[in-house]
């Protein structure tokens, strides 16, 4: 089977978990499905990084459309008008679009991944024009694709709720965390990673998330303020500023000691395992997630997790997370106190249970499910046709 992959959405370092999803799934497909050839349609920003990461697989080809995807509207035009002709020229059997949107016209069957419908539930994360454009394109992709991939049961329900997609055309295929997050490196290497990040020497609570409003980072800062006098920890926030940044900055400014909050916009991937593993607690206060990959990464790393019992999080966390049922700072503070109060034996047992839960998800399973979905799209009659 010859598969086209629409990677035009990908701007390295900017699309969060969707970048991990694309790269890890393609890697697992290339390693485990020798009968699959892949044609990646790329942009100027991602062409070289994708070739560096995936170019060692002989069954992967790269076709650069030669434009800058940082211009969102240029990307839309290229996707709708240039990509279809290149797909036809490449002779692929099916086109997979992993990033929400897909071409209106295609010479072959299409599969689209719609990770979530966050722009509908939390519209404040986007400008009005971006919301209108996204809504049109996502609904179009759902209509034109023979199969749709949702990354959780929660996302599947959201897709049905907000689009005209038929539930029987949606396949739920979970994501996974890199097993490397659970491997302990040499003490010297971990020390170097912590020193490089500026967090060596003192205990810390960790959160990895950009500051979109729905990520609720301001509530975490306020919760930290409630427990600040009771614990020696710093709060380490790793992520880029987004539309929710003013609320986060205001929350930090209101703390009794704002110097105990450390902001880091970016860390190299190879340092993340040590950062997760060395944290006393990982807190993920998000109100909406299609999957919630950082939660799974922290569980693999052996770090206790506090998160809201909302959206997809219970689906992957099971009974291995300290949940809060409220969305405010006080509920988060209570859960943080409870998690930090565990003794050594309780923490060990809790983390072992979480590690087993997280290891039940694998990129091999993601790849296998994706290949099966692509085959199904080719083999079935187009559901839009009526006799």
**Claim to verify: residue 166 and residue 189 sit in the same structural domain:** no
Q: Tell me the pLDDT of the chain averaged across its residues.
A: 94
Percent of the chain with pLDDT over 90: 88
pLDDT the model gives residue 93: 98
- Range name among 80-84, 107-111, 196-200 with the lowest pLDDT average: 196-200
Contact in structure between 308 and 323 (CB atoms under 8 Å)? yes
Other C-beta atoms closer than 10 Å to the C-beta of 126 total 17
Q: Is 385 within the bounds of a domain?
A: no
**Claim to verify: residue 20 and residue 80 sit in the same structural domain:** yes
Q: Is 269 within the bounds of a domain?
A: yes
HSE, CB side, 13 Å, CA atoms: give it for residue 179.
Answer: 7
Q: Is 384 within the bounds of a domain?
A: no
**Claim to verify: residue 37 and residue 151 sit in the same structural domain:** yes
Give the separation between CA 89 and CA 58, rounded to whole angstroms: 20
**Claim to verify: residue 111 and residue 229 sit in the same structural domain:** no
**Claim to verify: residue 120 and residue 133 sit in the same structural domain:** yes
Q: Is 386 within the bounds of a domain?
A: no
**Claim to verify: residue 159 and residue 211 sit in the same structural domain:** no
Evaluate if residue 107 carries a pLDDT over 90. yes
**From residue 291, how far is each of 86, 97, 177 by CA, in Å?**
32, 18, 11
**Claim to verify: residue 214 and residue 289 sit in the same structural domain:** yes
Evaluate if residue 381 carries a pLDDT over 80. no
**Strand ranges across the sheet with 110-113:** 60-64, 37-42, 2-6, 94-97, 110-113, 147-150, 170-172
**Claim to verify: residue 224 and residue 108 sit in the same structural domain:** no
Q: pLDDT tens digits for 14-54?
A: 877 899 999 999 999 999 999 999 999 999 999 999 999 99
**Claim to verify: residue 217 and residue 346 sit in the same structural domain:** yes
pLDDT the model gives residue 361: 97
HSE, CB side, 13 Å, CA atoms: give it for residue 104.
Answer: 8
**Claim to verify: residue 340 and residue 368 sit in the same structural domain:** no
> What is the domain extent for residue 276?
179-359
pLDDT band at 385 (very low <50, low <70, confident <90, very high): very low
Q: Is 255 within the bounds of a domain?
A: yes
Percent of the chain with pLDDT over 70: 98
Other C-beta atoms closer than 10 Å to the C-beta of 322 total 22
- Range name among 73-77, 153-157, 332-336, 377-381 with the lowest pLDDT average: 377-381
**Claim to verify: residue 185 and residue 170 sit in the same structural domain:** no
Tell me the H-state helices in the chain.
17-32, 47-54, 72-77, 83-90, 118-121, 128-144, 153-162, 187-197, 217-227, 245-253, 269-278, 293-301, 313-317, 329-340, 344-359, 363-379
**Claim to verify: residue 336 and residue 368 sit in the same structural domain:** no
Count of domains observed in the chain: 2
pLDDT the model gives residue 125: 85
Q: Is 230 within the bounds of a domain?
A: yes
Q: pLDDT tens digits for 200-222?
A: 889 999 999 999 999 999 999 99
pLDDT band at 380 (very low <50, low <70, confident <90, very high): low
Q: Is 387 within the bounds of a domain?
A: no
CATH number for the domain spanning 368: value is 3.40.50.2000
pLDDT band at 382 (very low <50, low <70, confident <90, very high): low
Q: Which two tokens stand for residue 378?
A: 């080719």
Q: Is 367 within the bounds of a domain?
A: yes
Q: pLDDT tens digits for 280-306?
A: 999 999 999 999 999 999 999 999 999
Evaluate if residue 387 carries a pLDDT over 70. no
pTM: 0.94
């Amino acid at each position: 089977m010859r598969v086209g992959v629409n990677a035009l959405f990908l701007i390295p370092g900017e699309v969060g978990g969707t970048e991990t999803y694309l790269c890890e799934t393609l890697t697992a497909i290339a390693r485990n499905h020798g009968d699959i050839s892949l044609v990646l349609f790329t942009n100027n920003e991602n062409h070289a990084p994708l070739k560096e990461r995936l170019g060692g697989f002989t069954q992967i080809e790269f076709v650069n459309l030669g434009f800058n995807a940082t211009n969102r509207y240029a990307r839309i035009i290229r996707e709708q008008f240039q990509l279809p002709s290149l797909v036809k020229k490449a002779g692929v059997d099916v086109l997979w679009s992993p990033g929400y949107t897909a071409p209106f016209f295609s010479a072959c069957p299409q599969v689209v991944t719609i990770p979530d419908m966050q722009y509908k539930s939390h519209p404040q994360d986007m400008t009005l024009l971006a919301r209108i454009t996204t809504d049109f394109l996502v609904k179009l992709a759902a209509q034109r694709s023979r199969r749709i991939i949702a990354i959780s049961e929660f996302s599947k329900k959201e897709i049905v709720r907000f689009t005209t997609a038929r539930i029987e055309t949606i396949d739920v295929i979970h994501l996974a965390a890199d097993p490397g997050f659970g491997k302990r490196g040499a003490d010297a290497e971990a020390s170097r990673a912590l020193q490089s990040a500026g967090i060596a020497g003192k205990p810390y609570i960790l959160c990895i998330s950009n500051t979109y409003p729905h990520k609720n980072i301001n509530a975490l800062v306020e919760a930290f303020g409630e427990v600040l006098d009771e614990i020696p920890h710093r709060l380490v926030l790793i992520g880029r500023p987004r539309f929710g940044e003013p609320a986060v900055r205001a929350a930090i400014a209101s703390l009794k000691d704002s110097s105990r909050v450390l902001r880091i916009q970016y860390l190299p991937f190879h340092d993340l395992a040590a950062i997760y593993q060395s944290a006393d607690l990982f807190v993920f206060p998000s109100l909406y997630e299609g999957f919630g990959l950082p939660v799974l990464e922290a569980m693999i790393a052996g770090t206790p997790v506090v998160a809201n019992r909302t959206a997809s999080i219970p689906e992957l966390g099971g009974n291995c997370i300290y949940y809060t049922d409220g969305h405010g700072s006080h509920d988060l503070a209570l859960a943080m106190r409870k998690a930090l109060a565990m003794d050594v034996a309780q923490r060990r047992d809790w983390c072992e249970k979480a590690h087993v839960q997280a290891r039940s998800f694998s990129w091999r399973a993601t790849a296998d499910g994706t290949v099966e979905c692509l085959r199904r799209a080719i083999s079935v009659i187009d559901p839009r046709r009526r006799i």
